[in-house]
Amino acid sequence: MKSCFQKYLLPIFIVFSFSGPISGQYYGLSFASSEAIQDLRTGLDLSPGKTLCFDNNFQLSFDVSFQPDQLEYFGYIFRIINQRNQNFDLISNLTSPNGSQFVIINQGNAAPHSFDLENTGIFNQWAKFTFDFDLENRLLTYSFLGIKKTEPLSFEKNSCFKILFGSNDYPKFKTTDVPPMNIRNITIHEGDYLRYEWLLDEYSGKVAKEKIEGQDGQVENPLWVKKMRMEWKLLKSFSVEGPISVAFEESEELIHFVGLDSLISFSCANNQMIHTPYESGRLHLSRGNQSLFNQYTGQLYTIYPDQQKIAVFDEKTRTWDKNFDPPERITDNWQFNKFYSRQDSSIYLLGGYGHFIYKNKVKRYHIPTATWDSIMPPSDSFVPRYLSALGQVDSGAYILGGYGTETGQQIHNPTNLYDLLYFNVKDTTFEKITELKIKNEEFVFANSLIIQEKTRTYYGLTFSKHLFNSNLRLIKGSLDSADYSLVGNKIPYKFYDINAFADLFYSPNLDRFFAVTLFHNTDNQTEVSIYSIANPPLPLAQEGEPFWNYGLNYILLVVAGLVALVGVILYISRKKLSIGQAPSIESIPNSHISSPDEGVIQDRKNIIYLFGVFQMFDSEGNDITKNFTPLIRELFLVMLLFTIRWERGISSEKLKDLLWFDKPAESARNNRSVNIAKLKAILAKVDGCHISKETGYWKVNTDPTKIRVDYLKYHHIVQDKNTLNKSIIQELIAIVHRGGFLSNLEHEWLDSFKAEISNEVIDIYIHFANSMDIAEDPEFMIEIANYISYFDLVNEEAMMLKCKALVHLGKHSLAKKVFDNFRKEYKNIYNEDFIKDFQTILD
């Protein structure tokens, strides 16, 4: 019988894990740049209507990243101006011909700096920029992208400043030159104290909230990153004559629209439109045609299966190699799915609908020989359908949902389909992976599914086929389970199946999704709309949205219900233990944390979370994490971890080496005393947690009967591998599933803790897996293998465990696919082939 955890709590965790974080690390302010007119460019003033004044030295730091593939990168990242109109500027000059990507303007003097931008990662990840203004000695020290430099500074002590990011209209310093950047986590320290903090984690409005003193900033023309991940943005709308079709060229980030007289290409990077008239004359396009871009050969195809014709476009000569015949009747293949297979150099067409018949025939066009053939799979493996989503992978394709019936006849009660199938190109077979658990209104799918194999997830667009004025909604699902969640807001979509078409594309370089809607109207015009949303898209956080959007108020209500449910389940679990069940981790002190994430918390009072994002809750259940300045937080964590890991705590000398290495002994001692006093004041709000120095070492003592610390619970688990059972492993999953250890913090001394924990977790999982017979619970073995892979992507034992478990379940082709993916990833990482074959790892 499945444990209480697996039966009741694990499904809840899965639902929350697929809903995605509501805010998480996905926030910041994006700046409208040269792609917008001057009046619509973004600017941030940290002190609207006044200045920021400092008696002592201060430090400004912030995170920055740049949007890739833009036409222009010149502009002011920030300007600091004192009351004497002396300025200090940081300028982006990434496209400079002389190679100077960032320029410091200090006292009118330019200090250019060049970088190998590809290695900085600044186009796809955040980089921290730090500027220390030593007003007492009139020195500036700045540090970013691996450089650190000190220069003379004209700013004086006891000065007041304007600090402006991007565009501004401050007298004598106005500018509309803005680089296409993203900014977040702006902090200002005065001395050792955190004075101001602007996270820039807003969703809407022009106010940038300051978290400490209420010194709110003002934003003009804001582009909030959180909103960009929750709401689709309309990029372009236009109309084209005739029944056009659409394809996506991933490498160049172009959406191609194949028209009667010309090819229209939309640049996803800069919203530019390119028109390419055909030199080969007008195309005879018919409704129902579709287009496909082959990313491996760089060719654009237009497909009309009724005539078994595929036309190829030559970009250099601007010609199509063939034309279509005027159709004798309307197409017999509406809304089919298609993909190109590199394995056999063929284009596959699946499903479709026409003249009251749903199709399940698979048609194949072999490009080298220009020949067609087909297979007719059994209806029990691939029910005849249309309006499905298809996502291509190396060895085949996934097909999700649709609308149809087993007989293929429209008169035989067609229905919505929600099965996730895998089509194997090699043996042309279909395998059912799972079936979605429908939560509300029935839906069908836009044409494409975006597969993210590394995370075993997919994204697809859904809509109701029963409405003309319908809406597209993006869902995120798992390739391994039936759960899914809705993310992003609605996209308006006119749907009439013989006149409408919708598709979904993803650009890895831009890290954005693009949705395209087509509607062929009665004037023989196709209305086109293009939308985008940043990756990863998040559930919409607005009042009035349904449950699956996880609006904040609704989440609190749901959490309250789940808290009650968890309490009941744990009570039942303990009752069962008391009458003879094997002991679980509940018998270990400090083992009451039952949730892998913050979505499910049985009691928020007196908790310290170190896995995932650091959090602390006081005796009243209040989140007091915000009371920790970075220095006090680091001081607390050093003492706590050294206490739990080695039990003795940490010496004053070691604390100085870690936190105040740059200060004289007396100054370090004063700093330690002041910050420990502040830390004690914070901990006074928490029961069962206090600081001591009884043995000559600084310790954070925790009473497990009063306070719960997930790392302490984890430490108990890993101490004794011989007592492992399934219940304890599930407890470990509940801890580490919340996230990596202190995943939001980076300290050099912390690296050893993180590495040790990763190794320990892998060892525990493997030790437990080796102690069990796979036949006892193959599904759980697959879970264990997946969790090992989270820490080590190419762990051979995890791969072998998963393949054996899948074979035991009869999923031979899926096991082979896992093995092939492992070999590919192994080759990518180690640049050498994995020497074992599939049969060897099963023996």
Residue 530, in any domain of the structure: yes
382 in a domain, yes or no?
yes
For CA atoms 562, 568, 571, 572, the dihedral sign is negative
Given a cut of 80, whether residue 553 has pLDDT beyond it is no
Amino acid identity of residue 422, one-letter, is Y
Asked whether the beta carbons of 623 and 616 are under 8 A apart, the reply is: yes
SS3 per residue for 391-456? EEECCEEEEEEEEECCCCECCCCCEEEEEEEEEECCCCEEEEEEECCCCCCCCEEEEEEEEECCCC
Residue 127 and residue 117 in contact, taking contact as beta carbons nearer than 8 Å: no
Cβ–Cβ under 8 Å, residues 408 and 360: yes
Same domain, 335 and 376: yes
CA distance from start to end of the chain:
29
* CA-based torsion, 210, 211, 212, 213: positive or negative: positive
Considering the chain, what is the average pLDDT of its residues?
85
Question: What are the pLDDT digits (tens) for 304-362?
Answer: 999 999 999 999 999 999 999 987 788 999 999 999 999 999 999 999 999 889 999 99
User: CATH no. for residue 181?
Assistant: 2.60.120.200
Q: What is the pLDDT of residues 772-804, one digit of tens each?
A: 888 888 888 888 888 787 677 788 888 988 999
Instruction: Note the pLDDT tens digit of each residue in 82-134.
Output: 988 999 999 998 766 666 689 999 878 888 888 877 677 788 789 999 999 99
Task: Give the model confidence (pLDDT) of 193-242 as tens digits.
Answer: 999 999 999 988 999 999 999 999 999 999 999 999 999 999 999 999 99
- 559: in domain: no
H-only helix segments in 590-725 = 630-646, 652-659, 665-683, 710-719
Q: From 722, 741, 765, give the residue that closes a domain.
A: 765
Verify that 615 and 639 share a domain, yes or no.
yes
Residue 550 domain flag: no
| One domain, residues 239 and 190 | no
Whether 335 and 484 map to the same domain: the answer is yes
Element (H, E) at 621: none
Residues 701 and 689: their CA atoms lie apart, in Å, by 6
Question: CA-to-CA distance for 386 and 765, rounded, in angstroms?
Answer: 43
Q: Is the pLDDT of residue 592 over 50?
A: no
Q: Which one-letter DSSP state was computed for residue 307?
A: G
Same domain, 670 and 816: no
Residues 426 and 521 reside in one and the same domain:
yes
Contact residues for 791 (Cβ-Cβ < 8 A; gap 6+): 758, 761, 762
Give pLDDT, residue 733.
83
Query: What is the C-alpha to C-alpha distance for residues 151 and 630, in angstroms, rounded to an integer?
Result: 26
Percent of the chain residues topping a pLDDT of 70: 88
Could you give the number of structural domains in the chain? 4
* Beta pairing, strands 357-358 & 353-354: antiparallel
Q: Which two tokens stand for residue 543?
A: 């009042």
Q: Which domain holds residue 334?
A: 233-536
**Is the sign of the CA dihedral 566, 567, 571, 572 positive or negative?**
negative
pLDDT recorded at residue 633? 92
Q: Above pLDDT 90, what percent of the chain? A: 50
Cβ(302)–Cβ(263) under 8 Å?
no
Q: Do 123 and 257 have their domain in common?
A: no
Domain boundary among 736, 765, 794: 765
Same domain membership, residue 48 and residue 191: yes
Using the predicted structure, report yes or no on whether residue 729 has a pLDDT greater than 80: yes
Pairing between β-strand 607-609 and β-strand 708-709 as defined by DSSP bridges: parallel
The backbone torsions φ and ψ at residue 684, rounded to the nearest 5 degrees and listed phi first, read: -60, -20
For residues 187 and 274, membership in a common domain is answered with no
